[in-house]
Structure 1
């Protein structure tokens, strides 16, 4: 049984189709990368899976049950969400923000788990600092710690490495991979195809709101897919730490 999934889901925003009969699933113990160009429907797919985007067709499931039939508490117990938006409204200490990922625990237990997560993302020393006094990269780590604090069956992260330096990008994906290896289901949307190929067990490629590929990275991101979906002339080469993408933009004909 998948921890989270979409079954022939279609959805619109402002009358415009953003998902078209999309089916995908994330099983416990795997990390799946959701890839595609801007506007492909990656964020919409994640929001649909959470029950945050109304559907015109199909259903979203958590642990095999229709999201629409679950109470907010059950949803929160089964799935945790890291959105693209990194704004935090209040200048709370980092440890209190991270502890929001464990709302069912007592204050002391939630704080202990939050401090452990802050240690895991290398900012334990900032635990008592207000998040408004931090850099954007530091706040991103705090929000990741909030996600890691939960013990939900599924973790959904929407562009968690956007705007981070290379070291922080690797740290984020290493921590999410560790959660998958520990038995949680992880779905992460990524623009960096090389990192998707390096870390994901499966890659789901979206284009125009439709799933065009779903498989192991070497198949889902094969050269003809990179050319057709991303406009890249590319080949994969072996690097010291994993696959590397040697790519250039597909030639665009001159306008008359």
Structure 2
């Protein structure tokens, strides 16, 4: 079975800077993959390139085994849902209408029904009729996650979906993404919290300076050597009842 998402030797530039330098990665059905790395490592660029939102200067991006550039916008939308970092919503629409935007090809009633179920799934059903401009950042994040779930595509890409959220909201978002993978979907999520990445992901891919420097099980990919070279951390993993915990300190810069 082909991967739901593939980057094969992807090269991308922003101006004179190379942001992806031969990046190869994949996500398969039933798999949750965490994309980790320091700021500026290329995580967001990899997510956008996989969706055809960033042009490649070399290599290829595929969704469902087909080159993303050969897919229409509708075909891309049917194969992958996208939850971007940006949470700005221009219009003060009710949450249920924002969530329903994830199903633009359904009838209005069917889209709203799917939206209401997704809002309930993320614990935001009580916000259905409230305008998104009247919500906190955490509430808006749940509504946007619901919109991504409404798509019901086989693949979901989430770019730093827990940034700025309180611990409860962080865990809820990751639980919903984990549930999507457990139900047979593929999930690629970029994360800065290495402990949470190790707890929820089947596989971790580490980017540094636009290159893949590790790809494997969480503890393998986030080995002490990788923690040192990519994150400048002196760290070890400690077993805990809910999963591994990272004990780390910054390496002193000479």
Band of TM-score, shorter chain: over 0.9
How many angstroms apart in 2 are the aligned matches of 1:123 and 1:47?
A: 27
Other-structure match for 2:55? 54
Q: 103-112 or 153-162, which moves further after superposition?
A: 103-112
Which sections of structure 2, spanning at least 5 residues, go unmatched? Answer: none
Other-structure match for 2:32? 31
Instruction: State yes or no: 1:10 paired with 2:19.
Output: no
**1:132-182 Cα shifts (integer Å, max 9, x gaps):** 011111001100000111111110000000000001101000000000011
Instruction: State yes or no: 1:189 paired with 2:177.
Output: no
Which sections of structure 1, spanning at least 5 residues, go unmatched? Answer: none
Shift of 1:105: 1.2
How many angstroms apart in 1 are the aligned matches of 2:129 and 2:6?
A: 37
Other-structure match for 2:120? 119
Is the partner of 1:108 in helix, strand or coil?
helix
Shift of 1:122: 0.7
Other-structure match for 2:137? 136
Other-structure match for 2:227? 226
Is the partner of 1:239 in helix, strand or coil?
coil
Shift of 1:15: 2.0
How many angstroms apart in 2 are the aligned matches of 1:163 and 1:36?
A: 17
Other-structure match for 1:90? 91
> How many equivalent residue pairs?
253
How many angstroms apart in 2 are the aligned matches of 1:224 and 1:194?
A: 16
Normalised to the residue count of structure 1, the TM-score between the two structures is 0.98
RMSD: 0.6
How many angstroms apart in 2 are the aligned matches of 1:167 and 1:240?
A: 18
Normalised to the residue count of structure 2, the TM-score between the two structures is 0.99
**1:85-105 Cα shifts (integer Å, max 9, x gaps):** 000000000000001111121
How many angstroms apart in 1 are the aligned matches of 2:124 and 2:55?
A: 37
**1:19-56 Cα shifts (integer Å, max 9, x gaps):** 00110000011000000000000000000000010111
Instruction: State yes or no: 1:214 paired with 2:215.
Output: yes
How many angstroms apart in 1 are the aligned matches of 2:253 and 2:152?
A: 47
Other-structure match for 2:170? 169
Is the partner of 1:242 in helix, strand or coil?
coil
How many angstroms apart in 1 are the aligned matches of 2:101 and 2:244?
A: 36
Shift of 1:218: 1.1
**1:102-128 Cα shifts (integer Å, max 9, x gaps):** 112111111111011111111101100
How many angstroms apart in 2 are the aligned matches of 1:240 and 1:28?
A: 28
Other-structure match for 1:45? 46
Q: 202-211 or 144-153, which moves further after superposition?
A: 144-153
How many angstroms apart in 2 are the aligned matches of 1:71 and 1:251?
A: 50
How many angstroms apart in 2 are the aligned matches of 1:34 and 1:117?
A: 25
Alignment of structure 1 residues 89-108 onto 2, 5 Å: 89-108=90-109
